[in-house]
Every structure is written in C-alpha cells, then in structure tokens.
Amino acid sequence: MQENKDIYVTQPSLPPLSKFTEYLEDIWESKWLTNNGKYHQQFEQALCDCLGVKNVSLFANGTLALILGLQALRITGEVITTPYSFVATTHALHWNGITPVFCDIDEHTLNIDPNKIESLITPKTTAILPVHVYGHPCNVDIIANIAETYGLKVIYDAAHAFGVKTNGQSIMQYGDMSILSFHATKVFTTAEGGAIVTGDEKLKKRIDFLKNFGFADEVTVIAPGINAKMNEIQAALGLLQLEGYEEQRLRRKELTELYKEALSNVKGVKFFNDMERVEHNYPYFPILIDQKEFGKSRDAVYKKMRENNIFVRRYFYPLISQFPSYRNLPSASPEKLPVAEKITKEVLCLPIYSNLSTGDVKYVIDILLQR
C-alpha cells in the first residue's frame, strides 16, 4: 500500500506556518536579528520554566555548546566518555585538545557503564562526559558519587534528552552542566540550535560571554571566546515549538507502544522498555537484532528496508572509537569495549515522528518481518 512513499527515520514536527509568519513579521519590523534579542531572552526563560531548570544559555547548535561548555569549565587532560554516541560528543573533546578515554557501555541502557568508569581514572582525568543515549537517563547517582570522590566535573551530553524527567524532576539538574541539541532530527527542534543547562548562575554568565567572542561589555574581552549565538529567527521558532511539544511527545509514546506490541513475541528482536520513575521523550525506537535467533543480520534488514523506501538508520554504527581520528587511542581497542562492539552490530533505529501514521508503523513491521 505504501510502496511509493519514503519513510525516514525521523522528521521534524513544525508549527503552522501562519503562526511562525507572525513572529517573522515582528522580527522584520524590529530589524533585530541576533545578539541576545527579545525572542532569545524569552526563549531562554521559557525553557527554564518548561524544563524546570535554573539557567539556560542558547547556542547555534549542540556541538558548539559542547565545545564551549568544556572551555567554560576549563576541562583539560583526559575525559572519560562513551564510544556509543554521535561523533560530536568526542569531537568536542578533540577540539579542546582533550584526550578522550572510552569506557564500555551498559547493555541494559546503552549508556556509559558506571561500574567501569573508576578503573579508567588517571592523574590526568578531569571530567566525565556521559550521554543520555536515546534519552534514556544515565545512572546519575553512581556517576555523581565517582565525580565527588575523585574531584571530577560531569558534563552530560543530553542532546537526546529534551524534557526527560526522573522522579518528576528534569534529568538536566544532574552534573555540572547538560548540553541540548535542537537539530532538525531532534524531538524538539529550532532547525539548528542547542543549549547549555546549568544550576550555576556564575557559570551561565561566563558561558554567555564565551559564546559572544568573550565580550563582558563593549570594551572588555575576558577570554578567547567564539561566535556560537542563536539568532532571533531560531529563538522565535523555539518559542512556538514549545507549544506543540507535549502533544508530539504523547504521539511518539503511542507509536512506541505500537512497535512494542508488534514486536513483543518476535524471537531475536529486542527493544527497550520504559525505565521506572522516568518520563521519556521517545526520540528514537532502537531495536537490537540477534542474527542467530532472528535468522537475518541487522545489515540485511537495513538493506531490505531501504529497498522498500524505509530509511532506517544504524545509530550508532560505527562506534566513535573506530573512526580514524580515535581508533589508535589505547582505550579504543575493541577488546576493551565488548558490549559497545556487540551492540553497534545489532542496533537499528526504526522510524518514529509525530506525523508517522499507524499504517506506516504496520508497513515498517511487515517489511521487518518479511522473510
């Protein structure tokens, strides 16, 4: 039935164009396009209110937020991180001259394995950079304990975790800071965009200077900053996007349930259930395909899907530790990362976005299960 329709792994949810035009007309009229304009200020406050956090600094994208967040905390030496993420996580360390130290992941959450962090700490370690992969919260308590014991900073890459809550509180209250991405492929998008969330008001001030070339005022430059500012058009889109966020989160939850129901008795296909006391945001629907039990490899399924216009993705394959820039690091050797090495060969992210229909999900499942 859907043979001619392309189905992507994700698609942005957008507000009615007419509503956005109203904002654009106002921006055009004011001629104020960037540099902490009124929509930028409103959007930062609205995010604080919506996420239940103290300080938000907006950015042009999540990668610049990561790079600059590490600068703001003056992180140096070695940082323990996960190989199972989007490359930007490790690239941010590289851009700061920091050595990434890869830690294996936990097979239940696919996040950094908190029990393997301690053995990787050296006198050069200054911080831990975990990722809430697919929006699944890391074990924040164990990580906080380790950080406290060894005097390390914790920077969460929360690019996938917009709106995620544990025990009714934002996941972004943990660590020294959390980084968000508002890229077009994210649950909450401003086309490109990102943010740093921190509980420390002074740190926010420093971050705001750094993202504006280091300017503290017209004539004072406190450090070699960069230009990483979000503009008024993105900020206005962000304000509008907040209005539709909960509705689309609930639609994603429904679609997740549909997938789970259809796959619950399929041998060789594993999916992830909601975690206890967590309010999820359902950004991805990852499955793990066990070739022996399922009778087909992950890559065979990937190919079959594409032949049928279903553009699923292998997030995250290859592992970051396998890219040429990082594969010669001592911590990148595959025998040190057995869980990540296994998962990266099995994972496939199925399409999920609020405009996906129930029929689309049925079609995806049909193709997945076709022999």
The first and second tokens of residue 61, run together, are: 């994208």
Q: Pick between residue 174 and residue 294 the one whose CB is nearest to ligand T4K.
A: 174
Structure-block tokens of residue 215: 């300017």
185 binds ligand T4K (CB under 6 A): yes
Q: Is residue 83 involved in binding ligand T4K (CB under 6 A)? A: no
CB of 169 to ligand T4K, least distance (A): 21
Pick one of 7, 10, 13, 178: the residue that binds ligand T4K (CB under 6 A). 10
Binders of ligand T4K among residues 282 to 311 (CB under 6 A) are 311
Q: Which one among 174, 315, 326, 363 touches ligand T4K, defined by CB under 6 A?
A: 315
Encoding tokens for residue 336?
């040190």
Nearer to ligand T4K, 294 or 364 (CB): 364
* Segment contacting ligand T4K by CB under 6 A, of 45-53, 177-185, 224-232, 328-336: 177-185
The answer to whether residue 86 forms part of the interface with ligand T4K (CB under 6 A) is yes
- By beta-carbon proximity to ligand T4K, the closer residue of 136 and 249 is 136
Determine, following the binding rule CB under 6 A, whether residue 12 of this chain makes contact with ligand T4K.
yes
Shortest Cβ 27–ligand T4K spacing (Å) = 21
Peptide bond into 318 cis (omega under 30): yes
Q: Which of 131, 154, 228, 258 binds ligand T4K (CB under 6 A)?
A: 131
Determine, following the binding rule CB under 6 A, whether residue 181 of this chain makes contact with ligand T4K: yes
In 3D, which of 216, 172, 224 has the Cα closest to residue 198? 172
Binding range to ligand T4K, per CB under 6 A, among 27-35, 57-65, 239-247, 292-300: 57-65
Q: Which residues contact 361 (CB under 8 A, 6 or more apart)?
A: 255, 258, 259, 262
By the rule CB under 6 A, 62 interacts with ligand T4K: yes
Min separation Cβ 205 and ligand T4K, Å:
23
CB of 190 to ligand T4K, least distance (A): 10
Residues that bind ligand T4K (CB under 6 A): 8-12, 61-63, 85-86, 88-89, 131, 157, 159-160, 181, 183-185, 194, 311, 313, 315
